[in-house]
């Protein structure tokens, strides 16, 4: 692009020239193969246009060529940081379309692994965000906690990243002996560690100054751009699918929905503005505590469930379904609350054992939609803070 004389965005009386920079797709702070075409006026960002498509794998099209069960491993790859949750959204859609009912134990196991995966995903987000801001130690803490979750997952399904654990009708394997106790032990381990993490970075003055008043998204803009999950709640909009449209047995569990508090002098962000990067960070930290609250309740219910006779229907981890699923003609859209917000699956069936059409809605794609407006007028270094605070994962964008 040739240089064009423009009006200076910081001082209208001064004229300068644009410079076009390519940030990514291999920049260490772009969190995947994202390329930003950044137009700058000195250090000030005039626009930062996302250039996507480097990771496109035609996953939705593949769903039309494999049967319903065979597509489950592909859902792992939609968001590799929370594969359990990605399995969950697809399974819910097929089960709703097929009218399948799940045993209680299967529901409990699903919520256990979904909330554990939410914690491990948020550990990567808040740890990497701190590292992007120059604080390396919190990232090591986050990785340490995430590895403990991976140990728990490896014991129940044999994998540490793409699990293929949830199935249509339940989960692939029952909890091995002692697994529930290990989950309980992890909950009691992580709570004081998260308080320590808060002391380490959340109240750090430099960290707050890098994030407060940066990348502000008002509640109205968050809704208009279709933001979901922590990015929506960081703007003060109290919407969580687990609460507002509960699935599984979330309606029987007690937990809160954290939202950003902006400039509230008594809140966590006294220097900031509602919907800034710091609010999005704090919401994720608070969600870890809420997931621990959910896990405590599910662990107690699992212990009670194990007292039932082995042949009891609620003691089963998998519903009895036909070996070959042929789902009646129809269509459904089903969504779940993933770490990066709403993940929705539209599944259309023509009565065969394969979906006629699969369409996936993810949170990272909608987050990139507001990127150009949110970064306008920021410094180049602040763009990195905005990327980290939105917690985008590129497989969710390029499907």
Read off the CATH number of the domain in which 88 is found. Answer: 1.10.645.10
Instruction: Confirm whether 5 is domain-assigned.
Output: no
Q: Which domain holds residue 154?
A: 59-397
Could you tell me if residue 23 is inside a domain? no
Of 3-17, 29-43, 79-93, 339-353, the poorest mean pLDDT is in 3-17
pLDDT at site 177: 94
**Measured CA distances, 2 to 5, 50, 299 (Å):** 10, 20, 61
Q: Is residue 117 part of a domain?
A: yes
Residue with tokens 């990243």: 161
- Identify the sign of the CA torsion 279, 150, 141, 364: negative
Q: Say which DSSP state 199 is in.
A: I
pLDDT value, residue 5? 47
6 has pLDDT over 60: no
pLDDT on residue 1: 44
pLDDT of residue 24: 76
Q: How many domains does the chain have?
A: 1
The answer to whether residue 110 is domain-embedded is: yes
Task: For residue 7, give both structure tokens.
Answer: 């009006």
> Roughly what angle, to the nearest 10 degrees, separates helices 179-197 and 277-305?
160
- Assess whether pLDDT exceeds 70 at residue 11: no
Task: Let me know if residue 41 belongs to a domain.
Answer: no
Average of per-residue pLDDT across 289-312? 95
Instruction: Kindly state whether residue 11 falls inside one of the protein's structural domains.
Output: no
Task: Report residue 344 as tokens.
Answer: 């929705």
pLDDT in tens, 232-284: 999 999 999 999 999 999 999 999 999 998 766 566 566 788 999 999 999 99
Share of the chain above pLDDT 90, in %: 77
Q: What is d(CA 228, CA 226) in angstroms, rounded to the nearest whole number?
A: 6
Q: Kindly give the residue spans of alpha helices, DSSP state H, lying in the chain.
A: 59-62, 72-76, 83-98, 104-132, 137-157, 179-197, 205-211, 219-224, 229-233, 241-244, 277-305, 363-369, 371-375, 380-390, 394-397
pLDDT digits (tens, 9 = 90+) for 113-126: 999 999 999 999 99
Helix then strand then coil, in percent of the chain rounded to 5, is 45, 15, 40
What is the distance of C-alpha 184 from the center of its chain?
23
Instruction: Evaluate whether 87 touches 163 at the Cβ level (below 8 Å).
Output: yes
Q: pLDDT tens digits, residue range 21-36?
A: 888 777 666 677 888 9
In a domain, 304, yes or no: yes
Phi, psi of 180 (to 5 degrees): -60, -40
Mean pLDDT of the chain: 91
In Å, how far are 58, 61, 331, 358 from 355, measured between CA atoms? Answer: 15, 10, 10, 7
The answer as to whether 32 is a domain residue is no
Over range 363-377, report the average pLDDT: 91
* pLDDT at residue 18, as a whole number: 87
> Which stretch of 91-95, 220-224, 391-395 has the lowest confidence by average pLDDT?
391-395
Asked if residues 375 and 215 have their Cβ atoms less than 8 Å apart, the reply is yes
Mean pLDDT, rounded, for 79-97: 94
75 conformational bin, left if phi > 0, alpha if psi -120 to 50, beta if neither: alpha
Grouping H, G, I as helix, E, B as strand and the rest as coil, residue 169 is: coil
Say if residue 79's pLDDT is above 70: yes
Reduce the DSSP state of residue 335 to 3 states and report it: strand
Give mean pLDDT, residues 159-188.
95
Q: Is the pLDDT of residue 112 over 60?
A: yes
* Cβ neighbourhood burial of 173 (10 Å; 0-12, 13-18, 19+): middle
What pLDDT, on a 0 to 100 scale, did the predictor assign at position 203?
A: 87
């Amino acid at each position: 692009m040739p240089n064009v004389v423009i009006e200076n965005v910081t001082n209208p009386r001064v004229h300068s020239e644009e410079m076009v920079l390519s940030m990514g797709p291999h920049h260490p702070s772009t969190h995947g193969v994202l390329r930003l075409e950044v137009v700058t006026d000195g250090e000030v960002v005039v626009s930062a246009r996302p250039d996507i498509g480097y990771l496109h794998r035609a996953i939705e099209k593949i769903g039309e060529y494999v049967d319903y069960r065979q597509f489950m491993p592909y859902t792992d790859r939609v968001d590799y940081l929370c594969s359990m949750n990605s399995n969950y959204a697809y399974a819910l859609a097929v089960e709703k379309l097929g009218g399948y009912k799940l045993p209680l134990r299967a529901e409990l196991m699903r919520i256990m692994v979904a909330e554990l995966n939410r914690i491990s995903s948020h550990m990567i987000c808040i740890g990497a965000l701190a590292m992007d801001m120059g604080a390396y130690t919190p990232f090591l803490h986050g990785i340490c906690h995430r590895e403990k979750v991976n140990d728990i997952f490896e014991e129940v399904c044999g994998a540490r990243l793409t699990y293929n654990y949830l199935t249509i009708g339940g989960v692939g394997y029952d909890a091995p002996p002692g697994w529930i106790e290990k989950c309980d032990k992890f909950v009691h381990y992580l709570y004081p560690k998260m308080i320590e993490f808060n002391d380490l970075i959340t109240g750090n003055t430099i960290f707050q100054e890098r994030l407060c008043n940066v990348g502000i998204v008002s509640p109205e803009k968050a809704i208009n751009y279709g933001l979901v999950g922590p990015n929506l709640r960081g703007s003060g909009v109290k919407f969580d699918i687990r609460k507002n449209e509960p699935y599984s047995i979330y309606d029987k569990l007690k937990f809160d929905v954290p939202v950003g508090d902006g400039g509230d002098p008594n809140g966590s962000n006294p220097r900031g503005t509602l919907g800034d990067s710091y609010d999005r960070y704090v919401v994720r930290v608070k969600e870890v505590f809420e997931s621990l609250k959910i896990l405590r309740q599910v662990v107690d219910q699992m212990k009670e469930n194990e007292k039932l006779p082995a042949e009891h229907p609620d003691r089963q981890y998998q519903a009895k379904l036909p070996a070959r699923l042929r789902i009646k003609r129809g269509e459904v859209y089903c969504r779940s609350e993933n770490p990066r917000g709403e993940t929705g699956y539209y599944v259309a069936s023509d009565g065969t054992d394969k979906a006629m059409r699969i369409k996936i809605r993810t949170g990272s794609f909608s987050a990139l939609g507001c990127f150009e407006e949110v970064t306008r007028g920021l410094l180049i270094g602040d763009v990195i803070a905005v990327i980290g605070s939105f917690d985008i994962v590129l497989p969710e964008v390029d499907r």
